[in-house]
Chain A
Amino acid sequence: GNSVTQMEGPVTLSEEAFLTINCTYTATGYPSLFWYVQYPGEGLQLLLKATKADDKGSNKGFEATYRKETTSFHLEKGSVQVSDSAVYFCALHDSGGYQKVTFGTGTKLQVIP
Chain B
Amino acid sequence: NAGVMQNPRHLVRRRGQEARLRCSPMKGHSHVYWYRQLPEEGLKFMVYLQKENIIDESGMPKERFSAEFPKEGPSILRIQQVVRGDSAAYFCASSPPGTTPPYEQYFGPGTRLTVT
Chain A contact residues, CB within 8 Å of chain B: 32, 34, 36, 42-46, 49, 51, 89, 93, 95, 97-106
Q: How many A-B residue pairs have CB under 8 A?
A: 60
Inter-chain contact A101/B109, CB cutoff 8 Å: no
Chain B contacts with A in 61-114, Cβ cutoff 8 A: 91, 93, 95, 99, 101-110
Cβ–Cβ contact A46 & B104, under 8 A: yes
B residues engaging A (CB < 8 A)?
A: 4, 6, 31, 33, 35, 41-45, 48, 55-56, 91, 93, 95, 99, 101-110
Given A45-B107, A100-B48; A32-B101 close (CB under 8 Å):
yes
What would be 5 A-B contacts, judged by CB atoms less than 8 Å apart? A43-B6, A95-B101, A98-B55, A98-B56, A103-B43
- B42 contact from A43, A98, A104, Cβ within 8 A: A104
